[in-house]
Chain A
């Protein structure tokens, strides 16, 4: 009985803490110490409502045909698991949609995922709600190019811009020229690595040096201007 009474003693009252209005810093925020330690922000901090953009989901939905279906996402994860490259994404397609709905605009637009997407459309075909996920990825690319939040050293966005420039100019793309430009802009050493392959392709007649072009180049530019106005 004595032992029991001891355990049932009333605990000492801790003082009630003062209510704070500042956000509580995450314990994982390590201060920068030492010479070479790079400060890395923790991925999953709490998000305060002020950091989120409630209109982002609607913005994306407007950009894409049938885009409003993204509101019906049940987060089942089929898109991520059927995606052949989701392992290479920082945010899987499912997570990207969830963050879009939550309004995490910054995270979503800085994500490499839309640029890793290979446009295979497997997610779109398998989604039980028929959400046009691939088109949403394209829309995110468009916005990230406009707002310059795309990954700078990644080949794909650079390639996209080169490609578009070439078509605007000549109406057709020449693979050899595009590849050349890309090597020089992003990774010149790769040129050396692939020299053997390139020579073989050239000998087989699969690399044309002549620049492909349509005749009515001006007309094409008129068309592009007309549809954007």
Chain B
């Protein structure tokens, strides 16, 4: 076999909720990647992708915002090889993918974007490839590597994977649109038990930017949708719901008391990010994973092994920061 052709460092697009509501996702993502021997380099001077707000105002400008990010990524990685840009927030993932498609399809939009980029001294050769961290973990880093890194298999923990919307719709580059299994396979790899449930791709109502009940966009709708998810996951015996979207995660954890009152049904479902779950199985320090930032989190597992063991395991792998 030839030498390692998989890159060990990836360009990372954090998105606006990376430091906000989704901070734990970013932290745990960095932690897990580094622990596995891979690095994330934040794209310098990245700008907002426009989310779903900008297409509601101007479609071309929305494309342009995302296109600048892709062009910057290409600029920073000279050469002719494709440049993978990881976007963890699924809203950003979708917006950037849309721009990637527009930049790569010959037509008036591509021409318009080309001119606009040129006006600020950038251009795109279509080398940027937008990927999601779950895709990288599953298909590039690989399940074998992840299994190797597990020091505390989460045996007996039942995990419902919640995929949400924009990870698999409208583009599905690495998983099935109706029956996705990528997160479930990661869950399995860390020793936990994936729970199959019918609502894993039903919207949580969160795309009303930053949580419906919080900003009052459609509180009733968001409550109903998120409640349905929590209830069904509970019914199927899940101990925890893991997700990959900061908005979804917040919706699921933030209003359980209100839902209990409103729907007359006590809820206490742990909700967190897939990377946090994986990180715990790998014995990574909970602070690094941002566990303390979650409102509701507990796992029915034995306490983490001694820090010494963690350091030894990390050193044995030969990569990442063992602190």
Contacts and interface: CB of A to CB of B under 8 A. Distances in A.
Q: Is there any pair of Cβ atoms, one from A and one from B, under 8 angstroms apart in the complex?
A: yes
Interface of A: 63, 65, 84-85, 88, 116, 118-122, 124-125, 134-135, 138-139, 141-142, 145, 154-157, 159-161, 163-164, 167, 171-176, 178-179, 182-183, 186-187, 190, 194, 197, 200-201, 204-208, 212, 214-216, 219-220, 222-224, 226-228
Interface stretch (B59-67, B137-145, B182-190, B301-309): B59-67
Contacts of A205: 23, 293
A204 B292 contact: yes
A138 to B, nearest CB: 4
A160 B165 contact: no
Contacts of A65: 109
B169 A212 contact: no
A22 B260 CA distance: 57
A109 to B, nearest CB: 14
B116 A163 contact: no
Interface stretch (B3-11, B217-225, B267-275, B315-323): B217-225
Contact of A119 (B52, B115, B210): B52
A226 B71 CA distance: 16
Interface in B16-38: 16-17, 19-21, 23-24
A141 B53 CA distance: 10
A41 B59 CA distance: 35
Contacts of A157: 56
Given A85-B221, A223-B119, A200 B56 contact: no
Contact-residue size bin, chain B (C-beta under 8 Å from the other chain): 35 or more
Interface in B145-187: 165-166, 169-170, 177
Interface in B181-238: 201-203, 205-210, 213-218, 220-221, 225
A120 B20 contact: no
A197 B116 CA distance: 42
Contacts of A226: 64, 115-116, 119-120
Contacts of A224: 61, 64-65
Given A118-B206, A155-B218, A186-B216, 4 more contacts: A88-B220, A178-B210, A226-B116, A228-B60
Given A171-B48, A214-B47, A226-B116, A84 B292 contact: no
A172 B69 CA distance: 12
A144 B128 CA distance: 34
Contacts of B55: 135, 138, 142
Contacts of B201: 122
B254 A182 contact: no
A224 B115 CA distance: 11
B112 interface: yes
Nearest to A218: B120
B58 to A, nearest CB: 7
